[in-house]
Amino acid sequence: MAAVIIRIASLPPILDPSPTPAPNVADSSPHTEGNGQNAPSVSIEGNYHRINSMQEVFNRYINYLEAERNVSPYTVRNYTTDLLDFFQFLGTKGVGSLKEVDRHVVRDYLAYLMGRGLVKASIARKLSAIRSFYRYLLREEMISTSPVATTSSPKLDRRLPAFLTIEEVEKLLEAPDLSTPQGQRDRALLELLYASGLRVSELVSLNLEQVDLDSREIRVLGKGAKERITLMGKPAASALSDYLSQGRPELLGERKNRALLLNRYGERLTKRMVQKILGDYASKVDIGKKVHPHMLRHTFATHLLDGGADLRVVQELLGHADLSSTQIYTHVTKSQARKVYLSAHPMAQEEDNELENK
């Protein structure tokens, strides 16, 4: 994964790099403000004397995220955006150095975000980015205490994940035109998303050698570069076999590419293209709701639990590090069970009508 170099020269003084150039950091020349004078440097206690500029602090932090924490480029981008927003706020408040930031400043920032109308999930994400950065500063002994150590994240409203019914899934799977190579590919990718519960990023990153049609196993490299084995049923294996023997060779042509799913130019299919393919088919069969790749992952988990699968097994198949991430689907199945009960059981219907008439 290529290193991300964060350019911070245009930020307020809280993030201005030191006039001393940082060694071994790309393009770390001194920053000057509009009047041509060197901008004030950021003061960090502890081992800051070993690092010559805030530019290098950020570059080291990003390298740490990528090399040691194995976070995705998407997470790196979000953390960068959220941290720069925080430092922009510090600049407007006249906070001159990171060691001046205490829990009261952090709480002021959270209040500022609420005043901007940000939802709780966005505020929690920004706070998570700040926590991560300060944990890194503590780890490198650049600071002695973290101002966010005792700050609680806002309690998030629990939203039940949307999913498709079995009938809607069947309509979606039957939508592609199997007489074309693109249709064979689309049938295979739809079957894989539903049968294996893959994240769309995992799906598009698959190479040929990661799929075993005989055992119907897929070796997936998930979040944090963690490898897991997920499974597929006979319909998915059959659709994939047809695509590999017929559609994929036509899409590949004379080119060489180990990617499992190819576009019409023989190149790896992108996440954006999968989203468009799924949306187009959902509209074609008139499902009546906005369908996205992650909804099929939700559907995979919900249907497994509805069928009596053990929660721990579903956790393993989804690649969830924490069981609580999987437990949300138990709420979905309970909610669905109640709807089915109220609509199907005659005594429940009478009881429900009585409650409505009171």
Residues with catalytic roles: 199, 223, 294, 297, 320, 329
Burial (CB < 10 A; 0-12, 13-18, 19+), residue 194, is buried
Instruction: Give the pairing of strands 211-212 and 227-231.
Output: unpaired
Query: CA–CA distance from 292 to each of 163, 173, 183, 205, 262 (Å)?
Result: 10, 14, 18, 18, 19
**Count, residues in the chain:** 358
**Alpha carbons 326 and 347: distance in angstroms, whole number:** 33
Hey, what are 88's tokens? 């922009």
Q: Which of 17, 54, 56, 12 is nearest to 34 (CA)?
A: 12
Q: 110: helix, coil or strand?
A: helix
Biggest distance spanned by C-alpha atoms of the chain: 81
Under DSSP, is residue 268 helix (H, G, I), strand (E, B) or coil? strand
